[in-house]
Structure 1
Amino acid sequence: MHSAPSVSPPRVAVLADDLTSAGDGAAPFRRAGHPARVLLSGSPLDGHGQEDGVLAVDLGSRLLDEAGAVARTRAAARALAGAGLLLKTVDSTLRGHVAAEIRAALEGSGRRAVVIAPAFPAEGRTTRDGVQYVREVRVDESEFARDPAHPVRTADLARILPEAVLVDAGRPDALFELLPEGGLFVCSAATDADLDRIVAAVPDHRAVLWVGSPGLAAALARHHARTSASSAELPPSVRPLVAVGSANPATRRQLALLAAEPGAVSAVAADPLRAADTPVRILHTPHERRADPGELTRALAASVAALAGHAPFDGLVLTGGETAEAVLRALGAHGIDLHDEPEPGIARGTLAGPADAPRVPVVIKAGGFGDERTLVRLHALLTRVPS
């Protein structure tokens, strides 16, 4: 992560622990009229032309040990401390190095106060009395507690951040009195209206570090909306590719429905897809994960790169943050220029890379997001075929 002093501060900076979090943290601002770019981890922060827009940085810290995650988060927060609005995204099911990265971002940013609101009501993720739920089930009792790579250990934010003050959903106005003293403030929220009230209760948005999931990003974007940015419609894809690396049960159900579409070809390696003359081509990691998840992700990315060279695709759907990161890196991209947010928590854009690289449309989705037909709809969005 580069932290050279020549970095021009963007209007909005988003620090995320993986690629899908960066995409769905920036996408609401794009919808609200801000130009936005998402950078892969390790990319230089300067020279991306987002001084008047949004720069979302994938720190790749979910794959690191805690010490590495802290160092990378602190450095990025310091480099982007001059942003008008600084948002540290966290997973809405509390996976990853949540507490360590929040503290590191606070230290690097130089802010005195942190407003933490991880609720994402559109996906059924809510915060009640400082405890995180997914569709009314504590996240540490949900399927996310059994995540093979990043299991959730506790749903209680008071245990994760014992120094934090809990702010009730019915009293967000308490922030007005609490913030001048500094510290960490965990805000409960069950609806988008609750998140809007939290945002409205903070008198100076530049003075705090914001921490949350796409729900908070959307509330901040609504508060800071600009005139809608006009942009050309992305061209339809004729031969898109769907790459699924997430082991989340919700994504696997989505994969099963897409694979059942007429003519669909689904495989765990590139060879069966090379000669497949169908618009529904799917690469995925094995359903039974007996190998290291990182090895499976790298193998999937290598298969995508192999197809790019021998059976080119003109659109991508990527599911799972680590999958998306690995695939884009294998394709030589350094990020994504965002186009829109077709569904809550899902980002669509074009690959950003070398000047001679093709501007391939891409959609990225976190593993646990969406209903059972989400992948069918996203594939149809790329091809403009009614779903």
Structure 2
Amino acid sequence: MRKPPADPVRTIAVLADDLTSAGDGAAPFRGGGHRAKVLLPEAVEPGAAALDGVVAVDLGSRLLDEASAVALAGRFAEAFAGSDLLIKTVDSTLRGHVAAEVRAAHAGSRRRAVVVAPAFPAEGRTTVRGIQYVHGVPVDETEFARDPVHPVRTADLTRLLPEAEVLEPEQFGKLPELIDGGGVFVCSAATDADLRLLVDSVPLPGDVLWVGSPGLAAALAGHHIPVRSARPPEPPMARRPLVVVGSANPATRRQLDRLRTRTDVTSVEAAEAPAEGLRTLRRTTAPVLVVHTPDARRADASSLTVDLAHFVRELVADELIDGLVLTGGETAVAALEALGAAGIDLVDEPEPGVARGVLVSPPHLPVLIKAGGFGDDGILDRLLRLLMEGSPIAESLPIAERGPFAGHAPIAEGGPTS
């Protein structure tokens, strides 16, 4: 393990364009021993940047128009400009208002230079000569080019940021001098070792606005370990979780398909008669409840998110569930807002693209938040096992075979209604 630097980093701010990115950006620091909270913007108080540890803020800007996204990025970068380390996360597939938010955050941060490194090698997202790839394919030739909200138009970061200079790993040694002169630097990285070399090459991290995805956050966290490690909150085990699937990403839909084959799961679609769906979930004795958006993408995705949040609010109020697995950033935000929760105390990152935490306000439920495009087909099984048993490694057995919620009594006919 590396020794802490002579002047250790104490305050770290992560500005993200959605909730899963906020969790991804904060989780490596939590794993390294820093305290970490992931918050919705309305929960951020003046002076939050002065607190020890990580404050990761979901600006929610990916779903906004560009002008609103720019205003938020600039305002929060200015608010957190005094942080020892300031990170603007971007999606590793370049979705969202990437260039506009980077420029606004740079202006607000008053940092000397911007280092842009969106590679996330653990998930096959790499940057080579300024081109962003997903498993060796330029990102604008993948399914992300068909994203219903932010289709990716180019894989070339120099087209997004024409003012930037592209650096390959063998050129990172030039960074101290380049940063002194100011500017924007797109840094290629095909491996985690490349990202570590990048971080090691910057002598004064406070001079830089760091822009990247979980790969860069992990490299920064490995370099800036705290003098004294903070114990993470202890999440309670869930006896009866609710899985909420709002992402339309094909990877998530495959994960949902696998989950729905299990005999210990009752699953309903949010778009078809929500009141009937709630009655189904209230009556079932299944140990795991699932609510999801339709398999076919719909133009009115925002109304479906509202429907999902309604299920969460009602089932928590009925005390029928005691843990949540939330897939998709917009879905996760809607669920937290439905419960009046300002965010989560972060526990760890059990798998890439997954944040585990506890709601910061009552009912203090354990929560797992998964980014839509991450994970293999069995990830939801593993996350349920972690939530219910604290065992993230082995392949899950059907929960009904273990019976952790055997004998649950559903609400009788005539009980609480939607």
TM value normalised by structure 2: 0.87
Equivalent-residue separation in structure 2 for 1:157 and 1:261 (angstroms): 43
Question: Can you give the 5+ residue segments of structure 2 that lack an aligned partner in the other structure?
Answer: 1-8, 271-277, 397-418
Deviation at 1:307, TM superposition (A): 1.4
Spell out the pairing of 1:321-336 with structure 2 (5 A cutoff).
Answer: 321-336=329-344
Equivalent-residue separation in structure 2 for 1:108 and 1:162 (angstroms): 20
The percent identity for this pair of structures is 62
Q: What amino acid is the match of 2:266? A: V
Q: What amino acid is the match of 1:236? A: M
More displaced 10-residue stretch of structure 1: 176-185 or 80-89 = 176-185
Spell out the pairing of 1:331-370 with structure 2 (5 A cutoff).
Answer: 331-353=339-361, 357-370=362-375
Deviation at 1:229, TM superposition (A): 3.0
- Equivalent residue, structure 1, for 2:407: none
1:308-339 Cα deviation digits (max 9, x unpaired): 12253111111111110111001110011101
Contact 1:274 1:311 in 2 (8 A): no
Contact 1:199 1:220 in 2 (8 A): yes
Following TM superposition, the consecutive aligned residue runs of length 4 or more in structure 1 with deviations greater than 3 angstroms are 46-50
Equivalent-residue separation in structure 2 for 1:209 and 1:107 (angstroms): 10
Contact 2:305 2:330 in 1 (8 A): yes
- Equivalent residue, structure 1, for 2:197: 197
- Equivalent residue, structure 2, for 1:221: 221
1:36-66 Cα deviation digits (max 9, x unpaired): 0011132233476971110001101111100
TM value normalised by structure 1: 0.94
Deviation at 1:274, TM superposition (A): 1.5
2:377 is aligned with 1:372: yes
2:70 is aligned with 1:70: yes
- 1:343 alignment partner, SS class: coil
Q: What amino acid is the match of 2:262? A: E
More displaced 10-residue stretch of structure 1: 143-152 or 202-211 = 143-152
Contact 2:121 2:192 in 1 (8 A): yes
- Equivalent residue, structure 1, for 2:258: 257
- Equivalent residue, structure 1, for 2:290: 282
- Equivalent residue, structure 2, for 1:4: none
Deviation at 1:171, TM superposition (A): 2.2
Contact 2:237 2:387 in 1 (8 A): yes
- 1:173 alignment partner, SS class: helix
- Equivalent residue, structure 2, for 1:23: 23
Equivalent-residue separation in structure 1 for 2:91 and 2:267 (angstroms): 29
Query: RMSD over aligned Cα, in angstroms?
Result: 1.6
1:262-308 Cα deviation digits (max 9, x unpaired): 22111123332112222221111111123411111111111211211
Equivalent-residue separation in structure 2 for 1:258 and 1:331 (angstroms): 25
Equivalent-residue separation in structure 2 for 1:351 and 1:193 (angstroms): 34
Structure with greater Cα Rg: 2
Deviation at 1:232, TM superposition (A): 5.4
Deviation at 1:176, TM superposition (A): 2.1
Contact 2:316 2:322 in 1 (8 A): no
- Equivalent residue, structure 2, for 1:242: 243
- Equivalent residue, structure 2, for 1:124: 124
- Equivalent residue, structure 2, for 1:3: none
Contact 1:10 1:55 in 2 (8 A): no
- 1:56 alignment partner, SS class: strand
Contact 1:13 1:85 in 2 (8 A): yes
Equivalent-residue separation in structure 1 for 2:79 and 2:111 (angstroms): 13
- Equivalent residue, structure 1, for 2:168: 168
2:388 is aligned with 1:383: yes
Contact 2:268 2:290 in 1 (8 A): yes
Contact 1:275 1:311 in 2 (8 A): no
Contact 1:266 1:282 in 2 (8 A): yes
Equivalent-residue separation in structure 2 for 1:267 and 1:311 (angstroms): 18
Q: What amino acid is the match of 1:69? A: A
Equivalent-residue separation in structure 2 for 1:198 and 1:31 (angstroms): 20
- Equivalent residue, structure 1, for 2:53: 53
- Equivalent residue, structure 2, for 1:157: 157
Contact 2:169 2:187 in 1 (8 A): yes
More displaced 10-residue stretch of structure 1: 343-352 or 272-281 = 272-281
